[in-house]
Every structure is written in C-alpha cells, then in structure tokens.
Amino acid sequence: MINIDSATSLDEEQVWGDMPWKNSTAISSPREKVHRAITVRESNSTKPSMEFDVLFRINIADKSIKLMEILQNNLLSGSHFDYSHMAVMQGVSKPTLKPFSQNMLDVLFQQAKREVFEDGLESEFSRNLFQMMDSYSSSFFKIFKIMISQDLISTTVLAEALRWLGHSDNPATHEARREILENMMFHISPTVRDGAILGLSYMEDSASLPVLRRALESESIDYLRQDIQNLIEDLQGAS
Amino acid sequence: MASLLRKVRRARWVKTEYPWLTSSEFQADALDDLKTDKNILSLWFVKDIDDTVVLNRIIAALGANGDNLAVVDFVLIDEEKFIDLSLHLEEVAGDTKDQIVNNLHRDLVDLSGRNLFALAQLINDENNVKRVPKSDVARCIKASIASGFINSTEVNESILKKLK
C-alpha cells in the first residue's frame, strides 16, 4: 500500500501507460498531472494494473477533479479488473458503474471479519464502505437495509459499519445514514445498538434527539443508557 | 495507586450479548484488544489514577492519534498485578503527538501466550472498562492543543474540524 501523499504529482505517461483511454482528449494535455492515488496495493509503482484499487484525480489549473475510479468490488470479489466499468472522462461522460449487488456488500462484510478494528482509526473496511456508499448511494442503502433486516451481517461488523456511517461527512447520504442509525438504536443486539449510538454521536445531528429520547426509555442496559444520555446532552448543548 | 492503561474496545469486554459466558470468562474477541507485536504489548503508565490532569492528557494524546474523532475506551490495571504475574515492563517512548505522554509509554515485553491470557483475565476480573465520550475526548484534545502539549498542525484535519 502507498498512501495519498506518496503518490503525488505523477506524470501522465507514468500513470496511464498503455491504458485504452491513453489518447483521450480529456487527459491529453501535458499540463495535466495526476496528483493523487488512494489505496494502491503495490508500493513504488505508478501504473494502474489489475492489482490496483485506485482513485486518481487530475489537477488542471489548480483545480482537483475526479478523473476516474477503479471499482473496489472487482478486487473484493477477486475477479479481474474490467476497464469497461471505469468511470473515465470528466466532462465527457458520466461515470458508468457496475450495477450494485448484494454480493458486493457480502464480500465487503465477509472480509471485514478478518480485520481488527480500533476506534477512530480507518481500516480497509471503512475505506471500502465509504467508497461503495458514495458511489452507489441509493442502491447501497437499499441493499444494506435488506441485509440488516434479514440478519445477514455479523453484529460486530454491522456495529463497525454503523460507526462509519456516522463518520461520513457526505451530505448527499446524510439522511439515509441517519435513518439507518436511528433504526439500529432499537436492534436486538447490544453491540449493534452501541455502534448506532456511536454513529449518531459522530454524526452530531440534533434531528435525532426524538429517537434518542425514545431509545433511552426502551434501553435496558445501564452503560448504553448512560451513553444515550450523554449523547442527548451533547446534542441539546449543540443545538 | 499506580496503574497501566490499555486502550480497548468496550464491546469486546461486556457480556450482555453472550449469556453463555460466566462471570469469570471473557469473549475470545477480547483478545483482539491485546494484539501483540513481537510479543510486546503497548501500555501507558498512570502514576495516580485520581490525577485526572494526567489521565485527560493521555486521553487527548490517544484521541488525537486517530483518523477521526472517536470515543476512547480503556482499562486501568493495577501495577502491582503486573509484578504478581512477573510481567516485565520497559520504558519505551510512545508515538503520540504529546511528548510528555510519550514518556509515560511502557512496553510489556517477553509476553507469553499464558501471560497474555492472564492479563486478559485480569482485565476481565477488574470488570471496569471506561468509556470517554467523543465530546469529552474533544475537550481533552482542545485543552492539550491550547496548552501547547499537542501541536494542532500534527492532528488529522477531520479531527480538527470536529473540535470547532
């Protein structure tokens, strides 16, 4: 893995190499530089390859714009990278994403079982979750809710996902994230409820106060009641 | 009373979800909180657990080390218990953004599987995982930045944004 900083200011030629869109007008200017790569799996390498999951951005006149996105799910599912699924030319065509499927979330959640999570620290899981959530938005949340209702996600992984739903600062998904977090306040599993309380505390939206007050009345576990009480006070103080 | 602090995740130590666990047992998942590297476990020395100034400074340092502002769950283990178990502690500088807190870092070295389990048993017996809510972690970090203990330029942008 290399991080964002260590992948800055790559030359166009270095990055694109023999990629099929190499000669596209959208990336033909020599002044355009790729300046960011995220979660590249091979260190010291600058060419996208089958093994990469990358998000490149291009800098034109000091303005950063998304150029393309290589889908995480291709890697997660272990299949070969399919360039036809790439979102390519900014301003030329809209990103074309592979249709979202439950299998993609299944793989994500299964892989998460192998990770050890620590509060406040990003993980492979949280990064992939954010990417899917932001890329697929409505279909992501639709399938996520179905999987929750059918009890298809381990409580530990679901609780971790809920924490990160709260950490996301994407306004486009805010309401969908809040709805899930609020519903999960009444989940049968204390671990999941703990994750929901944390998610809502990270979200800092006082619109959740009515739900939190109801949850406080129904919560039977002392330490979770205390957490909800603290959160209510924090949100009341902030509003 | 001197103690050693270990950052954990509370959900791994509570038993509410697992009625099959007896009071003397703990979740196998709890061992995730005691992940060693080269048989070394990272801890923080707290000379006096009633000294909230020092404790808050450690909380600030741990909180400011993350990618996002989050709760800090931790346990405190009586230093004498380490002596009873013949566990060896070494003073090794920590890796936080507060240099004084770094001096409080200890490595629990030469840790065998048996001793690791004994340590987990100790934590379970103490049954006292504490949670510092996100808002309190934010207050601790703010205080450490205001006092010059932590340089704000070294703190992740997403954390700084939440401090405002």
- pLDDT (tens digit per residue) in B66-107: 999 999 999 999 999 988 888 999 999 999 999 999 999 999
A26 has a pLDDT exceeding 90: no
Write down the pLDDT at residue A97.
63
Over residues A38-77, the pLDDT tens digits come to: 333 433 444 333 333 344 444 444 444 444 444 443 444 4
- With CA atoms as reference, the chain B residue closest to A204 would be B162
Alpha helices in chain B (DSSP H): 52-64, 79-84, 99-102, 113-126, 134-146, 157-163
Chain B residue numbers with beta carbons less than 8 Å from the beta carbon of A120 are: 63, 65-72
Distance in angstroms (rounded) separating the CA atoms of residues A10 and A44: 12
Quote the minimal CA–CA distance from B136 to chain A in Å.
Answer: 10
Instruction: Tell me whether residues A201 and B133 touch, CB distance under 8 A.
Output: yes
Instruction: Tell me whether residues B71 and A189 touch, CB distance under 8 A.
Output: no
Q: How far is CA A175 from CA A101, A102, A167, A168, A216, in A?
A: 22, 21, 13, 12, 22
Span B62-67, mean pLDDT? Answer: 97
CB A9 within 8 A of CB A35: yes
Quote the minimal CA–CA distance from A208 to chain B in Å.
Answer: 17
Q: Is ipTM > 0.90 here?
A: yes
Q: Say if pTM beats, i.e. exceeds, 0.90.
A: no
Among A116, A122, A156, select the one facing B67 at the smallest CB separation: A122
Question: Which residues 42-81 of B are in CB contact (within 8 Å) with A?
Answer: 63, 65-73
Write down the pLDDT at residue A96.
58
Instruction: Tell me whether residues A120 and B63 touch, CB distance under 8 A.
Output: yes
Distance in angstroms (rounded) separating the CA atoms of residues B82 and B4: 9
Quote the minimal CA–CA distance from B90 to chain A in Å.
Answer: 24
Counting one residue from chain A and one from chain B, the pairs whose CB atoms sit within 8 A come to: 67
Quote the minimal CA–CA distance from A201 to chain B in Å.
Answer: 7
Distance in angstroms (rounded) separating the CA atoms of residues A45 and A214: 53
Span A177-182, mean pLDDT? Answer: 98
Averaged confidence pLDDT in chain A:
73
Sign for the pseudo-dihedral over CA of B151, B154, B156, B161: positive
Element (H, E) at B150: none
Among A116, A156, A204, select the one facing B35 at the smallest CB separation: A116
Write down the pLDDT at residue B133.
96
Averaged confidence pLDDT in chain B:
95
Least confident stretch, A42-46, A141-145, B125-129: A42-46
Name which of A71, A95, A92 is nearest A24 in CA terms. A92
Alpha carbons within 13 A on the beta-carbon side of A192: 17
Span A163-181, mean pLDDT? Answer: 97
- Total residues belonging to chain B: 164
Q: Exposed/middle/buried for A183, CB within 10 Å: 0-12, 13-18, 19+?
A: middle
Chain B residue numbers with beta carbons less than 8 Å from the beta carbon of A122 are: 67-68
Span A148-174, mean pLDDT? Answer: 96
Quote the minimal CA–CA distance from A93 to chain B in Å.
Answer: 32
B17 shares contact with chain A (CB less than 8 Å): yes
